[in-house]
Structure 1
Amino acid sequence: MSEQQHTDDGSDSTSEKLVELAKRRGYFFQSSGAYGGVGGFYTFGPQGAALKGNVEDAWRDRFAVAEGNMEIDAPTIMPEPVFEASGHLDGFDDMLVECPECGESHRADHIVEDNTMYEDAESLEIPEVEDVIAEYELVCPSCGAGLAGQAVEDFNLMFATNIGPGDSDPGYLRPETAQGIFVEFPRLKEYARNQLPFGVTQIGRAYRNEISPRRSIIRTREFTQAELEYFIDPEVDEPDLSSVEDVEVTLYPASEQNEEDGEAFETTIGAAVDENIITDPWVAYFLGVAKPWYEAVGVDMNRFRYRQHLAGERAHYASDCWDAESEIDGNWIEMAGFAHRGNYDLSKHAEHSGDRFTIFRQYDEPKTVERATVDPEMSYLGPEFGGDAQAVVKKLEDLAARDRSAFEGETVAFELEGETHEVPVEKTGFSVGEETISGEHITPHVVEPSFGVDRLVYTVLHHAYREDEVDGEDRTYLELEPEVAPTFVGVFPLQSDDDLEAQADAIVEDLREAGLSVTYDDSGNIGRRYRRQDEVGTPFCVTVDYETIEDEETTVTVRERDTTDQKRLPVDELAETLSAIRAGDLEFEEL
């Protein structure tokens, strides 16, 4: 495995400045500060909530509306059987190591990654992590005590709760939004008219009781996911790659990660599929769709790549998985995962719930097939098995469909609740006959693009952070894309003057009626107001001055954030012009 030094200590000056700006300007800050705060929980302030909402709307437009997919909103608390079926109760764990001196708990794989050359310690087995801790003599990040010899244990990340009073049912806060889609598949397939392929999206909160949340909103205990579960017939459905085959991407496949000098490289989606670098065409399709979308919302493409999961970190049910990663502070962080999950999820929920998680595949022409059936004598099974008689019938039906040779002897054997039983074949009503069928029930496979909204918001802010000098003064600004900026335009009266303020108020009303996000500011000198809006990423500012109210043609000054260039525009064209710029139909330089 390739190794790379990590310096994940949050000491990068840009990150420090960004976190300070985020708190001061209302992007995000630690929750419950009046009570000392609580690790892993953050509040998005007015600017952050608006930015996050705009990112979610942009995701919805691209992955739900433009792709013709449905959207649902499922509960964040679900009963325990859901997570028994999904495997989260048994396998949703992180590696925990506890300091023998201060008692603090830490993620063992993070300690390894932060202090050694191992890049993906999460893919290592627990004994391997314990060996690395001992070999490198790693210490507790809190107090400096040695951790060599300390046991590394699995820690389940789900938050437990109870549903209802008294003898209530156990439940859990969902660790991913996906299960809310999977468990509703029997109903959702009806809304899709039982036709594959179809997709279901969801944007919502998920919860993971992280051992050591860190780096502000990059790793938290409550976060927002935007997920698409795309249901396909693996033998019939293929994506149309023509729309994405020329999309240029930076790929870091497992083969390169396993080389000492391996590195990411540039290619196209089409070439990656042709050369079998991306083995699943559906995963390739969504990688191609996502890349230009990431660029549109403000991710720096020079600091973006797709990294393939190594065999040790890929979920056992996933045939392939790629992460969208962004570079922050010299490290690569995961923003999204694109996985082919097979039919694991639907099969497990079918097995545990008894409901039907299949879709009927119609044949082009009817087929005549041999089919084994049973018609047991209940007068025999009832006295013999009592209340388990119906369970025995189900066992015999399953056995006949799966292995008709089991009925070739005088008795047929099967297991029921851990015990082996036998029934005379003559009592089973076993027979084989011909049947004409028009189709069969199949369990769809699932392709899942899963986006972390909070990490994307952080990436967008970090990649947009700029410092420069304007008129001899230092300036900080966020070069946010107009589509996602919390506020699109600021409106200022040049001075405290009733006529200027009345005109500014009228402009604010007109722009808001046009659907633009507007802020009004009359506090301080005009330069200070410009700096405030630059710092929160407002793309344009409109200044109402005395020319506005005195000249025959009513015009205002429009200032662009990044270049600080200014132009005079007629007030009666202002809303239309700014709306065209926000929609991408017009450039400020063209005015």
Structure 2
Amino acid sequence: MTNYVDFDPSRRLLVRRRSQLALQSLTMDAVEQSLRKALAEKQSAVETQGNAVRALKAAATPASKPEIDAAIATLNNLKLEKSSIEKQLQAHITDAGGDGSFSKEAFRQAVVNTLERRLFYIPSFKIYRGVAGLYDYGPPGCSVKSNVLSFWRQHFVLEENMLEVDCPCVTPEVVLKASGHVDKFTDLMVKDEKTGTCYRADHLLKDFCNEKLQKDLSIAPEKAAELKHVLATLDDFSSEELGAKIKEYGITAPDTKNSLSDPYPFNLMFQTSIGPSGLSPGYMRPETAQGIFVNFKDLYYYNGNKLPFAAAQIGQAFRNEISPRQGLLRVREFTLAEIEHFVDPDDKSHPKYSEVANLEFLMFPRDEQMSGQSAKKIVLGDAVSRGIVNNETLGYFIGRVYLFLTRLGIDKERLRFRQHLANEMAHYACDCWDAEIECSYGWIECVGIADRSAYDLRAHSEKSGVPLVAHEKFSEPKEVEKLVIAPVKKELGLAFKGNQKMVVESLEAMGEKEALDMKAALESKGEVDFYVCTLGKNVAIKKNMVAISKEKKKEHQRVFTPSVIEPSFGIGRIIYCLFEHSFYMRPSKAGDEQLNVFRFPPIVAPIKCTVFPLVQNQQYEEISKLISKSLTAAGISHKIDMTGTSIGKRYARTDELGVPFAITVDSATSVTIRERDSKHQVRVSVEEAASVVKDVTEGHRTWADVWSTFPHHSSASADE
């Protein structure tokens, strides 16, 4: 539970998942509640009937055998009914997969086993027993990652004319001090009081609650509801609240059962030093965004001193996780792709907004979360026009993110955009949405899309002394009225001491109406309660602590700090969800085993095509090599398999890698092209094979078009 106080809690992916306080998560769903109630009643009936049987047997005047047998039969029936309810409850908690054949855990294990066996990814430093939270991508994994990033560049950088930069991973401390990371980039940690082993505090509490809910079926409905409430509000717990719950539930160290220390903050950044003296401290960057912000002045000049414009960066980020878990979803080194779109705060329209306005997809606005509803499909244009989404530019990027993810192969029915609740957003943020993808671990935040206002540029301007601003020149001088908020830092320091900075920032971030209301209240009462988001409480502001006024000036140009719309992509998380969404199993031809298949779209498939000589034959092998050269010339990644094993087994091997097309050489003049998911085959000439595969993999034509154009081929060997 990363404790961001000075900067936007939507800051994401490379950090912790923010609190999701949807009210429907605070209580059990109706089915589970009903089953738990029924189980408790049946348990009570079993105990009552058991006592009745014992009483009959122990009576001074023994009951008749038929009477005792009838009572025992009733008891056995009650036990069977109790067992049936337990199974229903366990099945509901386990939440079986689509066809009921896989639990989430079993499905996940099948996916992970396949990924590791086929070397999509493996634990790093495996021969030395590995290091938690670090993974290597193998050959097919590298290809998938490269294809995802290539499509990201095409979809965003090229199509939106963004300025791409590449900044160092090692970042001077002063930069991350200005951004707030040095002071506030923390998770709460506890230690085994005897061994010193460290654990992430919220993970221990979360695991305890989940285990009780899943394994203790006799738990009372009220207690189960309490545990679900804890799970839903966990990210909002303070260190004191977290420590109190750990003690209340008697949670101990998982490995030793020793008692635990009170929770305390642990900074998640990897610290280093720059240069041999060790006097210049630095950190491995926890995000790529700061490199863009500090380069704003030069990028603005490069763009002809014009707004809006966007800068983008793909690169590694680092987070020293206390207890990494969930495979690729929470790691210590990962790839981020981030966009910082700089825009005039007074004009957040977007010229291409109409291209996405008619998209309809699952959205989860904060009002629906607070009222206990579920995500529902909303037309993006309606969400913007109704003010659910703050502005056109933010809406435009939400739409573009939706198109990016669904074109990659993410199931649109398991993709939603969740709006941050008011208590999740920093005082300077206008609006924040997370693209969440459902997988076996639940709903996972994979992309954050936030309107961060002008906070980042202002923070770096103040710390560096270099104004990071934009200019709008007027054709004629204008008389403008400006709101001036001048906190009296000396008085605020005396009153709030170490919290002075947070109070000052909150005062300076006030909107015009709020500031003028405060001015009127101070003039009439001399004191006013003021909510400081980063402190999470009201403070008393007195008249001598802040001066608020409106001044008229003649200006030749408008100088302002741009607002930032920031889409931030956790590439590893997206790839893992893509793996799960693409994975399925189908029976072999003989029906004696289940075959693994990844249904990757051609755009992300690690290999686009395989080439098989039907049998080991010199002529067929020469033709295969000729087709391979044509595919290479066309830029299509492919693989030749001349192992001589059965064609069915070769198909199965490549289906497991997610290869969408296979060319089988079975004559000197023509070949067959097989499509992975339908297993349909068409016959084309040797000369046409490479161009057909190129057209369909690059999206110039569909498989349906190919199927309707070329002669169909059927063969027993085609169906493994």
Normalising to structure 1: TM-score of the pair?
0.84
Determine if the alignment matches structure 1 residue 341 to structure 2 residue 452. yes
Q: What CA deviation, in whole Å up to 9, does each residue of 1:376-429 have, x standing for no partner? A: xxxxxxxxxxxxxxxxxxxxxxxxxxxxxxxxxxxxxxxxxxxxxxxxxxxxxx
CA distance in 2: counterparts of 1:152 and 1:231, whole angstroms: 39
CA distance in 1: counterparts of 2:564 and 2:232, whole angstroms: 29
Is the contact between residue 123 and residue 312 of structure 1 (CA under 8 Å) also seen in structure 2?
Answer: no
Identity over aligned residues, as a percent?
39
Could you say which residue in structure 1 is the equivalent of 2:621? Answer: 501
Determine if the alignment matches structure 1 residue 126 to structure 2 residue 239. yes
Determine if the alignment matches structure 1 residue 180 to structure 2 residue 291. yes
| Aligned match for 2:327, one of 201, 213, 216 | 216
Q: Supply the AA of the counterpart residue of 2:625.
A: D
Indicate how the Cα distance of structure 1 residues 301 and 251 shifts in structure 2: closer, same or farther if over 3 A, else same: same
SS in 1 for 2:316: strand
Determine if the alignment matches structure 1 residue 248 to structure 2 residue 248. no
Indicate how the Cα distance of structure 1 residues 184 and 579 shifts in structure 2: closer, same or farther if over 3 A, else same: same
Q: What CA deviation, in whole Å up to 9, does each residue of 1:298-336 have, x standing for no partner? A: 101111111122333334432221111111115111101
1:220-231 correspondence to structure 2 within 5 Å? 220-231=331-342
CA distance in 2: counterparts of 1:271 and 1:320, whole angstroms: 16
Is the contact between residue 110 and residue 121 of structure 1 (CA under 8 Å) also seen in structure 2?
Answer: no
Q: Which structure has more strand as a fraction of its residues?
A: 1
Q: What CA deviation, in whole Å up to 9, does each residue of 1:508-529 have, x standing for no partner? A: 1101110111111112221111
Is the contact between residue 194 and residue 359 of structure 1 (CA under 8 Å) also seen in structure 2?
Answer: yes
Could you say which residue in structure 1 is the equivalent of 2:595? Answer: 475
Instruction: Give the deviation of 1:154 after TM superposition.
Output: 1.3
CA distance in 2: counterparts of 1:122 and 1:17, whole angstroms: 30
Indicate how the Cα distance of structure 1 residues 256 and 127 shifts in structure 2: closer, same or farther if over 3 A, else same: farther
| Aligned match for 2:146, one of 36, 46, 53 | 53
SS in 1 for 2:324: coil
CA distance in 2: counterparts of 1:252 and 1:27, whole angstroms: 33
Is the contact between residue 157 and residue 163 of structure 2 (CA under 8 Å) also seen in structure 1?
Answer: yes
Q: Supply the AA of the counterpart residue of 1:34.
A: I
CA distance in 2: counterparts of 1:315 and 1:31, whole angstroms: 36
| Aligned match for 1:491, one of 611, 621, 630 | 611
| Aligned match for 1:70, one of 163, 167, 180 | 163
Moved more, 467-476 or 57-66: 467-476
Is the contact between residue 27 and residue 48 of structure 1 (CA under 8 Å) also seen in structure 2?
Answer: yes
Indicate how the Cα distance of structure 1 residues 49 and 98 shifts in structure 2: closer, same or farther if over 3 A, else same: same
Is the contact between residue 361 and residue 412 of structure 2 (CA under 8 Å) also seen in structure 1?
Answer: no
SS in 2 for 1:342: coil
CA distance in 2: counterparts of 1:305 and 1:369, whole angstroms: 43
Determine if the alignment matches structure 1 residue 363 to structure 2 residue 474. yes
Could you say which residue in structure 2 is the equivalent of 1:304? Answer: 415
Determine if the alignment matches structure 1 residue 578 to structure 2 residue 698. no
Q: What CA deviation, in whole Å up to 9, does each residue of 1:199-227 have, x standing for no partner? A: 00011100000111111111000000010
CA distance in 1: counterparts of 2:278 and 2:183, whole angstroms: 24
Q: What CA deviation, in whole Å up to 9, does each residue of 1:101-151 have, x standing for no partner? A: 55332222233334242235223322222233344444444445565xx41
Moved more, 238-247 or 446-455: 238-247
Could you say which residue in structure 2 is the equivalent of 1:440? Answer: 558
Could you say which residue in structure 2 is the equivalent of 1:463? Answer: 581
Q: Supply the AA of the counterpart residue of 1:122.
A: D
Is the contact between residue 349 and residue 391 of structure 2 (CA under 8 Å) also seen in structure 1?
Answer: no
Indicate how the Cα distance of structure 1 residues 93 and 577 shifts in structure 2: closer, same or farther if over 3 A, else same: same
Could you say which residue in structure 2 is the equivalent of 1:527? Answer: 648
Is the contact between residue 161 and residue 172 of structure 1 (CA under 8 Å) also seen in structure 2?
Answer: yes
Could you say which residue in structure 2 is the equivalent of 1:192? Answer: 303
Instruction: Give the deviation of 1:475 after TM superposition.
Output: 1.4
Q: What CA deviation, in whole Å up to 9, does each residue of 1:155-184 have, x standing for no partner? A: 111001111112441111000000111111
Moved more, 161-170 or 338-347: 161-170
Could you say which residue in structure 1 is the equivalent of 2:500? Answer: none
CA distance in 2: counterparts of 1:138 and 1:163, whole angstroms: 41
Q: Supply the AA of the counterpart residue of 2:583.
A: Y
Q: What CA deviation, in whole Å up to 9, does each residue of 1:256-301 have, x standing for no partner? A: 3333x33211111111122222224322221111112211001011
Moved more, 101-110 or 79-88: 101-110
Q: Which structure has more helix as a fraction of its residues?
A: 2
| Aligned match for 1:515, one of 626, 632, 635 | 635
SS in 1 for 2:410: coil
SS in 1 for 2:141: helix
Moved more, 577-586 or 448-457: 577-586
Is the contact between residue 192 and residue 198 of structure 1 (CA under 8 Å) also seen in structure 2?
Answer: yes
Indicate how the Cα distance of structure 1 residues 512 and 36 shifts in structure 2: closer, same or farther if over 3 A, else same: same
CA RMSD of aligned residues (A): 2.3
Instruction: Give the deviation of 1:495 after TM superposition.
Output: 2.1
CA distance in 1: counterparts of 2:589 and 2:132, whole angstroms: 41
Question: Structure 2: any 5+ residue segments left out of the alignment?
Answer: 1-20, 29-92, 96-102, 210-226, 483-551, 707-720
| Aligned match for 1:111, one of 182, 200, 204 | 204
SS in 2 for 1:584: coil
CA distance in 2: counterparts of 1:168 and 1:495, whole angstroms: 68
Is the contact between residue 269 and residue 286 of structure 2 (CA under 8 Å) also seen in structure 1?
Answer: yes
Q: Supply the AA of the counterpart residue of 2:144.
A: L
Indicate how the Cα distance of structure 1 residues 353 and 223 shifts in structure 2: closer, same or farther if over 3 A, else same: same
Name the count of aligned residue pairs.
520
Could you say which residue in structure 2 is the equivalent of 1:27? Answer: 120
SS in 2 for 1:287: helix
Instruction: Give the deviation of 1:585 after TM superposition.
Output: 2.6
Is the contact between residue 478 and residue 554 of structure 2 (CA under 8 Å) also seen in structure 1?
Answer: yes
Could you say which residue in structure 2 is the equivalent of 1:414? Answer: none
Is the contact between residue 158 and residue 172 of structure 1 (CA under 8 Å) also seen in structure 2?
Answer: yes
SS in 1 for 2:423: coil
CA distance in 2: counterparts of 1:109 and 1:311, whole angstroms: 22
Indicate how the Cα distance of structure 1 residues 366 and 17 shifts in structure 2: closer, same or farther if over 3 A, else same: same
Q: Supply the AA of the counterpart residue of 2:633.
A: E
CA distance in 2: counterparts of 1:172 and 1:516, whole angstroms: 40
1:415-430 correspondence to structure 2 within 5 Å? none
CA distance in 1: counterparts of 2:313 and 2:242, whole angstroms: 36
| Aligned match for 2:673, one of 540, 543, 558 | 558
Q: What CA deviation, in whole Å up to 9, does each residue of 1:486-538 have, x standing for no partner? A: 10000111222222111101111101110111111112221111111000100
SS in 1 for 2:700: coil
Is the contact between residue 318 and residue 334 of structure 2 (CA under 8 Å) also seen in structure 1?
Answer: yes
Indicate how the Cα distance of structure 1 residues 146 and 165 shifts in structure 2: closer, same or farther if over 3 A, else same: closer
Is the contact between residue 325 and residue 331 of structure 2 (CA under 8 Å) also seen in structure 1?
Answer: yes
Could you say which residue in structure 2 is the equivalent of 1:332? Answer: 443
Q: Supply the AA of the counterpart residue of 1:124.
A: F
SS in 2 for 1:336: strand
SS in 2 for 1:355: coil
Determine if the alignment matches structure 1 residue 537 to structure 2 residue 658. yes
Question: Structure 1: any 5+ residue segments left out of the alignment?
Answer: 372-433
CA distance in 1: counterparts of 2:638 and 2:303, whole angstroms: 40
CA distance in 1: counterparts of 2:455 and 2:670, whole angstroms: 63
1:258-277 correspondence to structure 2 within 5 Å? 258-259=370-371, 261-277=372-388
CA distance in 2: counterparts of 1:233 and 1:254, whole angstroms: 26
Instruction: Give the deviation of 1:485 after TM superposition.
Output: 0.4
Q: Supply the AA of the counterpart residue of 2:243.
A: E
